[in-house]
Every structure is written in C-alpha cells, then in structure tokens.
Amino acid sequence: MSALAVAQTSVSSAKPAKKSDSSLAASIDPGGVINGVYHNKALDLSCKIPEAWVLRTDEMNARDDAVKEAEDKKAAATQPNSGQPAASASSAGSKVLLAAFSRPPQAKGEEVNSSILVAAESTSSYPGLTQAAQYFYPLTEVAKAQGFALDEDPYEIAIGTKTLVRGDFHKDVGSRVMHQSTLAMLAHGYAISITVIAGTDDEVEDLIDGLSFGASGK
C-alpha cells in the first residue's frame, strides 16, 4: 500500500484537537539562524539559507495567530451555546520554525518567489498518527487547496541520519510552473514538515541539498 493510501486509511477521519500555541511554543525548540544557516538542536537539523534571502518566521507566526483568532471568534459566533469556539485544523497547535523567501512579499518579480518553510504540529492533533507517511494526507489536502497537484505517491528519502517521507507537487501559474517538495518526519511528539518551493526541479533539489541531519549538520 502506498504511503498516501496508508495516510488516507489511517487519519482521513481524524478531527484535529486544539492545542494552544503558547503550549506548543514552550515545548519545542524554535531553533535559530547563524551565519546564513538555520540550526535546530532538538531536531538535529541544519538548513542552509541562500544569500540575500529574507527571513519572515515571526511574521508568519503573527499572521497565523491573527487568522486563528478570527476563526475562533467566527466559530464562537456561529455556536453561541457551546461555551467554547470550535477547534479548526488551522488552530490545532501549529508553529512555524523557519520561513525564508527569496524576496519580500512587496517585491514583485517574474520568477517564482522561492521559499523554505519548516513547521511543527503536535501529533496529538491527529489521533492515530504514528508514521510520517500518515501525515501526508493532511499535507496533501492543504497543497491541493492551494492549487498544487501531487506528482506521484510520497516516498522515503534518507538525509544524513534521518529517513523522511517526501512528496512532490507542481502548480501552473500562467506561463510559469511552481515546484514544491515537502518532507515530513515525526520527532518528540510533533509532526515536522519541511517545504521548499522554487521555479524549477533543479532549484528545489539545490534547496533540499542544503538540509542536513546528525553529525553532517553540526
């Protein structure tokens, strides 16, 4: 059975359970960037950030917090007798650990705005989630909602001391094609996703080549 099929049968009916961002932020190492390299000791991860790229990690988290607050208020308004706002997938305890882009959002360009996004989400948000392959069901649903198509079934990939599950996607944007690859793993009670977007497959591979785990990343 393919990784995606396993995911569909295992977690497709799971309802994300809300976990506060403050709790998540306090219990996972956000890592940091030193000399153009993102390091996360807890995940044993290093990620090279291309020169002149823009870091937007704090902005992404602030934006997500604002969206979650708006969704909670909307849910409370539509369910006035519940006493609490309904939990949604986007408020299920996710945290952006790294967000890096080839240019700031206000800078327009003909080329795809390449990016690297590392995010963590509590596995408790998805009952029955025990393998990284299972996490690709919700990841694929998010990608499809953004107009991306899955190229093939997710597959395993070894990087340094870690084995992750990888899925490749593409999206036609006018005369351009956006290429996205997402790698997932489970660590310390969290589902970790590393997503790279670029204008060509070669550019995607170059960004993935900048990832390292274990001794090779220290």
| CA–CA gap between residue 85 and residue 148 (Å, rounded) | 30
- Taking CB atoms within 8 Å and a gap of at least 24, the contacts of 67-72 are 68/21
- pLDDT tens, 106-156? 888 778 999 999 999 999 989 999 999 999 999 999 999 999 999 999 999
| Per-residue pLDDT at 85 exceeds 60 | no
The pLDDT of residue 174:
83
Mean pLDDT to the nearest integer, 164-169: 97
CA 170, distance to chain mean position in Å, is 16
> Which one, of 65, 94, 186, lies nearest residue 134 by Cα?
186
| Per-residue pLDDT at 16 exceeds 50 | no
CATH T-level assignment (fold) for domain 3-57+93-213: Protein Transport Mog1p; Chain A (3.40.1000)
> Which one, of 132, 217, 147, 134, lies nearest residue 180 by Cα?
147
Per-residue pLDDT band for 175 (boundaries 50, 70, 90) equals confident
The pLDDT of residue 64:
60
The answer to pTM > 0.75 is yes
The pLDDT of residue 215:
58
| Per-residue pLDDT at 15 exceeds 70 | no
Query: Residue ranges of the domains in the chain?
Result: 3-57+93-213
